[in-house]
Amino acid sequence: MKIFIFLMLISTTLFAQSNVKIDVPGMVCQMCVFGMKKNFKSVVNDPEKDVFVDLDKKTVVVNLKEKISEDEIKKRVNDAGYNAQKITWLK
Amino acid sequence: MNKFLLIIITLLPINSFSHPVIYKGGSIFQGSFMPRMNQIRLGYTASPKYSFVYNANYFENINKYQDHTVGMNFLLKRWLNYDSQANLYTGIHGGGYKNSFSNGKVGHLFFMGDWESRVHYTMFKVKRFIYNGETRQNFTARYGFAPFIAGMNELQAWLILQGMYVEDQSREVNITPMLRFFYKNVLWEIGHSTRGQSYLTLMVHY
């Protein structure tokens, strides 16, 4: 029973949804940042709702299905044509 | 004949001016339309550094001229500042053309630089056209101004002035004022040049 509870806690921690805020300088046009939604598509439920780009603050907030590594986040931002300057986990 | 075609084509205001390379996995459809003249471009960005493109032109009023080219575009360098970005691109395309009288090989080579913020946009492009041994360069510069700043999913408008100069031609610069609109992943642009050419461009990123 203890093992079961332990595994449940671990899986809840590992597979819980995570919100991450990424500081991305240089985002200036709507069409260019469409690539953010495209490149995070496979790690969110709905790219339209779960990838929020703020052109004023130069941030991207992603509601991830599961937590991924910061290297993976940086790679996806690079594939979108930008650099992740700072990554902040929101939950 | 080649020389005549080359002059006409290099003077058209509808050459492609979107970013030649976008984001990994991104595709572009672009159609530019003038009276009895159409231009189609399809592009696929395989990496944030390069893309594959297909271009087609059809000019019914120039002896039913048409050409088809394929090629690659490259992002040479990108500078990302907090509220602006600058880019350097190059590209090389080759294929064939035909019209009512002849057919042959066609190619393009270009270098392009741009700088843009949310309010200002500048671009410079040098493009070399090669038609069966005849070559010609054109030089294009653009300045754009956004009268207001729209949010991510709002309509964004730009006022743009384009100047185009073709070497060895009259010293006249072909000026084209244009309006550009963005909405989400769709762009459309309308303009009317000092040579009396009106055009519409529609572009979709997906």
Best residue in A29, A49, A53 to probe B by mutation, most B CBs within 10 Å?
A: A29
| Chain B residues in contact with A30 (beta carbon < 8 A) | 150, 152-153, 156, 182-185
**Confidence at residue B174, expressed as pLDDT on a 0 to 100 scale:** 86
Q: Which domains does chain A have, with CATH numbers?
A: 16-89 (3.30.70.100)
Q: Which CATH class is domain B2-205?
A: mainly beta
Q: What are the angstrom distances between the C-alpha of A1 and each of A10, A14, A16?
A: 14, 20, 22
pLDDT above 70 as % of chain B: 90
Give the nearest chain B residue to A83 (CA atoms).
Answer: B80
Does the beta-carbon distance from A29 to B116 stay under 8 Å? yes
Sign of CA dihedral B53, B28, B10, B85: negative
Angle at B51 between CA B192 and CA B13, to 5 degrees: 10
Buried b (16+ CB within 10 A) or exposed e, A54-86: ebeebbbbbbbeebbeeeebeebbbbbbbebbe
Please report, for chain B, the start and end positions of each structural domain, with discontinuous segments joined by +: 2-205
Sheet holding A59-64, edge to edge: A51-54, A59-64, A18-23, A86-89
Chain B environment of A36 (Cβ under 8 Å): 23
Asked if A55 lies within 8 A of B151 by C-beta distance, the reply is: yes
8 Å CB contact of B205 and A29:
no
Residue A12: pLDDT over 70: no
Residue B48 has its nearest CB partner, among A53, A55, A81, at: A81
Terminal CA-CA length for chain A = 28
Question: With bands split at pLDDT 50, 70 and 90, how would you rate the model's confidence at B168?
Answer: low
Query: Which pair of structure tokens corresponds to residue B69?
Result: 């080219």
Note whether ipTM > 0.95 here. Answer: no
Nearest to B187 among A26, A31, A79 (CB): A31
The per-residue pLDDT for A4 is 62
